[in-house]
Structure 1
Amino acid sequence: MKQWLVAVTAFFSSLSLLAQEPQQSPEPERYTRQDSLRGSLRPERTCYNVGFYELNLTIDPATKSIAGSNTIHYRVREPFKRMQIDLFENLTIESITQGGEPLRYVREGNAVFVTMKERQEQGSVERIKVSYHGKPREAVNPPWEGGFSWKKDSTGKDWVGVSCEGLGASSWWPCKDHLSDEPDSMRMTFRVPRGLKAISNGRLLRQQEVGTNQIEFTWEVSYRINTYNVTVNLGDFVMIRDQYRSRDYQYLTLNYYVLRYNGEKAVKHFEQVIGMLDCYEWYFGHFPFWRDGFNVVETPYLGMEHQSAIGYGNNYKNNSFGFDPILIHESAHEYFGNSLTCTDPAEMWIHEAFATYMESIYVENTDGYPSMIRYLMSQKPLIKNKYPMIGPRGVNYQHKDTDIYYKGAWLLHTLRCVVDDDNIWFMALRKVALERKHSPVTTKQIIDILCRETNMDLRLIFNQFLNYAAPPVLEYRVTEKGDYIELQHRWIAETYGFNMPLKYRFAYGPWHTLYPTREWQTTLIRRSNGWLNFAYELQYFGTKHMDLSNLKPQE
């Protein structure tokens, strides 16, 4: 074969070794009744919707303990006398009351079943108060294995943070711990030792001394909030205030709560926030929690997307592309993850794929298209292809690797290439962010919006990328035919009817489009100068040399 064919063969073999070598299927997951109680929507949960939480908590770093109450305001959807709330079993319930009267309850692991004195009638607005205390789980490897992080800063002062995505908000406060039900708003009051500040979500309503040894901070969130986004941070913080002016001349408050000795470096480092907010506004609309402000809190763990209280612990470091990936990624979650939220952890790809893809949008916006491609290519080797990006629903599924981040971002990047019109593609993404703003969202709803706005049926591509572990693989053979190249090709994919278009070109010439299906096809391509090059930087796929002895169709 001539040199161009050698080049394309060598290129493809280096592109996707994983696609050429079958991967062993992981052992099937086994789920417990606790998984189902936490992850499923049983009648004891669907009978009511939470409207408002009032959390009052005393936090004692010396004993690593908490004590207080949460009042759950709810609207009755279906008449009931028994409801489920959630609180980890290592925390002691002192009482559950309604209207000052004690209610009977039964604990089953981390689930709590409460029996009402009177039937709760459909449409009525009721409330119960849960008083409790104990030592919440201590974080093992936050934020991935979360809980309370009881730390000291470099001066020896207490520095406390909470991260509980996956673990669950019920690890430290009683609630309906399911992503499908967010309160419309929330108020949190924290009583802490004098000398510390308690920083939580939203806006600070008041701060007052309690006796001689404690200070009480009350915060309020004026928007919907998912339970794992609720947080509290204790430390010797100083507040740095800034302001962002939107493109239509509205002003957003920016508050950075950092350890006292990091104030000076924080002022310089967080200058990148203004450009980030401008980028995200251009593509996805106004910052979604405008009334509550954009807030960042320095944490003793790497970071977390806590709504209007973004956890930041990356030590004020930028990456080789010149920005802080924790700051940019966690802030992106304010749009995807906080404003719109999946209804089951099985669909957490919605949060992480879009937030990771927004990093690349930020790179393109600040440093151009070639830098964006380099950034995505730097993440491509991190894709594992061991598990589908959507897991089983109803069991509080926790993803086993980071494919919902990097493969998810590459799915969206691939769709940009397939749509092949940036105006249409980015307007479609904007529609997703705005139509589902401050709402729960499902995978189907996102796909439906993107299909409608692009006027393309993208469902087969989504199905292959989300519901199967393996990427689509192009099986091919190239033969010279005079002035033409004969390309025999097909997609290997589990999705019936899979037909993703594929870009190709010669060397650095203009892109052309190939239309493989799951059936063998032969395409004659007029030769041009340079080597044949498939769009490895535009789409995510694997390759496989065709076995000439076996041209059977796929099942």
Structure 2
Amino acid sequence: MKSLMSFVMLSLVVTSLCGQEFTRQDYLRGSITAARKWWDVQHYHLQIVVDPEKKYISGSNLMRYKVLSPYHELQIEMQQPMKITRVLQDGEELSIRQEGFSHFIALKKPQTVDAVNEILIEYSGYPQESKMPPWEGGITWGRDLNGKHFVASSCQTEGPSLWWPNKDHPYDEAESLAMSVTVPDDLMNVSNGRLQKIDHDKKAKTKTFHWVVQNPINSYGVNINIGDYVHFHEKYNGEKGQLDCDYYVLSYNLEKAKEHFKDVPRMLEAFEHWFGPYPFYEDGYKLVEVPYLGMEHQSSVTYGNGYLKGYKGRDFSGSGWGLKFDFIIIHESGHEWFANNITSQDVADLWIHESFTNYSESLFVDYHYGKKAGSEYVIGSRTRIRNQKTIIGPYNVYKTGDDIYFKGANFLHTIRQIIDDDKVWREILRGLNRDFYHQTVRTEQIEDYINKRTKMDLRYIFDQYLRDIRIPNFEYYVRDGRLFYRWANTIAMFNMPLRVSFGDGKSLWLDPITSWRSMALPKSFRQLKADKNFYISTQNILEDN
């Protein structure tokens, strides 16, 4: 009863703070409940049969876990219309209590601290079909131009429990994964990690593809991709040696892909420079064609951009630089560092995935075309920022924030200006991927890391851009040979330095706060301009009023 009352109180507090209404399912899904926190998932082995004709999946998940503290109930998720048919431990069937799509398995044997146990979950059903992949999760049941089945999973927002049962919360990643996927024998399944073997059942006219992932993996990054694929391969000479790069495309797109996928080594060169070694050398890198736009599945990046530069042939930034590369190859591969290597512990902090990865596009342009080009790219994306909700969402309810792409990227670009040392900035980006290697993190850890590495106190700047919707307004006026200036439209303690010029070709730093400061103007003063690399607004309050 005490635990239930605490849970109810938490629900009321979060609802009050966020001004939003959440259901009990939101809390069961989004919080680290008592039935989750006592065990650590170690390994999943998915064994499934996919029937594209019937749009049906059946199989099992053998889940290995370590006991952190004794408890009697284990929580997993499986979303309707998929159904768990049976759960076994040590060959004994267990009972299940269901609330929404959260399932609470009653364990019979004692759960001893540090013991490593297994549980077998059998399931089947017709998984949700995505109507707008990848923004709406589910399975895409398509066909290629030859009429052959073309199937893929995508489930970042709604979660992987749409099609397989698992501990569906981002704080706990499996240390490794095995997948055995059976499909019709005229098709191929491509999943995460490395292909170990293929079993051919000629009587059943099926093939089973066995894949193994050696690294920790977030559950939404697990995928199946089924089609009439052909395969080609190259090796990239990277920071940790030879990286296997494997490409799976529809048979009639082979020659087109061989030319278009030359963006992959360019991506690896730029991102290993900025972020450090590709995080999954043991599992290789794959780019897999799918019947939707694409997504960041770990070591199995999916691609559906139509072999076009930009985003379906368009440049989000309007700068022209976005047409120098394939958006999906660069953006979704950037997630291998930010999302798959470094993963947020709560989806409220999903900006860690999307803001850094959105900014990785600018860094790609910077590396290949120069710093000015990279700045023009990210600045050009500001027209897509809404500023209606905060970047960080409410915690413990499985709810993301807003503006985690373009605003988040421009926030990071602003931080880069404040640091004012590209060597330090690069060391921070590489250090994040080194020191949080294969870990789940919170926003506070990212903040503390950047503060310590820069020896700056940037906490109010993080608060302003991540936890407030207002964009800082630099107010100023000139009177009697002096410049008066301050920050407005900000939180109370906001104190961000700003680089400005006075129209004489020279720049200098100001240190505005939320109260007025002043300085004597240089004799060469003609016009004040704030550096456009800072995501702010400016206002001469005498001229504008």
Please indicate, yes or no, whether the TM-score normalized by the shorter chain is above 0.5.
yes
State the Cα distance separating 1:543 from its structure 2 match.
2.8
Is the 8 Å Cα contact of residues 55 and 70 (structure 1) preserved in structure 2? Answer: yes
Between the aligned partners of 1:530 and 1:188, the Cα distance in structure 2 is 66
The amino acid across from 1:543 in the alignment is T
Between the aligned partners of 1:107 and 1:169, the Cα distance in structure 2 is 18
Q: Secondary structure at the match of 2:107?
A: strand
Match of 1:489 in 2: 485
Q: Secondary structure at the match of 1:119?
A: coil
TM-score (norm 2): 0.92
Match of 1:237 in 2: 229
Match of 2:519 in 1: 523
Between the aligned partners of 1:495 and 1:119, the Cα distance in structure 2 is 52
Is the 8 Å Cα contact of residues 133 and 292 (structure 2) preserved in structure 1? Answer: yes
State the Cα distance separating 1:528 from its structure 2 match.
2.4
Match of 2:210 in 1: 218
State the Cα distance separating 1:413 from its structure 2 match.
0.7
Between the aligned partners of 1:507 and 1:295, the Cα distance in structure 2 is 50
The amino acid across from 2:537 in the alignment is G
Match of 2:534 in 1: 539
Query: Where does 1:241-320 land on structure 2 (aligned, <5 Å)?
Result: 241-247=233-239, 250-319=241-310, 320=320
Match of 1:450 in 2: 450
Is the 8 Å Cα contact of residues 43 and 64 (structure 2) preserved in structure 1? Answer: yes
Partner of residue 220 from structure 2, selected from 224, 228, 233: 228
Match of 1:44 in 2: 35
Between the aligned partners of 2:185 and 2:504, the Cα distance in structure 1 is 65
Q: Deviations over 1:424-476 (max 9, x none)?
A: 12112211111001111111111111111111111111111111111212222
The amino acid across from 1:432 in the alignment is L
Matched, 1:471 2:471: yes
Query: Where does 1:266-415 land on structure 2 (aligned, <5 Å)?
Result: 266-319=257-310, 320-321=320-321, 322-399=324-401, 401=402, 403-415=403-415
The amino acid across from 2:534 in the alignment is Q
Q: CA RMSD in A?
A: 1.7
Match of 2:501 in 1: 505
Q: Deviations over 1:313-341 (max 9, x none)?
A: 10111134210111101101000100010
Match of 1:439 in 2: 439
Match of 2:200 in 1: 209
Is the 8 Å Cα contact of residues 429 and 450 (structure 1) preserved in structure 2? Answer: no
State the Cα distance separating 1:420 from its structure 2 match.
1.1
State the Cα distance separating 1:395 from its structure 2 match.
0.4
Residues 501 and 93 (structure 1), Cα distance of their counterparts in 2 relative to 1, 3 Å cut? same
Matched, 1:125 2:121: no
Is the 8 Å Cα contact of residues 74 and 125 (structure 1) preserved in structure 2? Answer: yes
State the Cα distance separating 1:531 from its structure 2 match.
3.1
Match of 1:10 in 2: none
Match of 1:134 in 2: 125
Between the aligned partners of 1:478 and 1:206, the Cα distance in structure 2 is 74
State the Cα distance separating 1:77 from its structure 2 match.
0.8
Partner of residue 143 from structure 1, selected from 106, 110, 134: 134
Between the aligned partners of 2:193 and 2:367, the Cα distance in structure 1 is 29
Q: Percent identity over the alignment? A: 40
Between the aligned partners of 1:549 and 1:158, the Cα distance in structure 2 is 61
Residues 169 and 531 (structure 1), Cα distance of their counterparts in 2 relative to 1, 3 Å cut? same
Match of 1:3 in 2: none
State the Cα distance separating 1:510 from its structure 2 match.
2.4
Between the aligned partners of 2:490 and 2:104, the Cα distance in structure 1 is 43
Q: Deviations over 1:224-264 (max 9, x none)?
A: 0000000000000011101101256x111000100110000
Aligned residue pairs total: 516
Between the aligned partners of 1:77 and 1:260, the Cα distance in structure 2 is 48
The amino acid across from 1:220 in the alignment is V
The amino acid across from 1:391 in the alignment is G
The amino acid across from 2:524 in the alignment is S
Is the 8 Å Cα contact of residues 351 and 392 (structure 2) preserved in structure 1? Answer: yes
Is the 8 Å Cα contact of residues 379 and 410 (structure 2) preserved in structure 1? Answer: no
The amino acid across from 2:286 in the alignment is N
State the Cα distance separating 1:488 from its structure 2 match.
2.0
TM-score (norm 1): 0.90
Consecutive unaligned residues of structure 2, counting only runs of 5 or more, are 1-17, 311-319
State the Cα distance separating 1:145 from its structure 2 match.
0.7
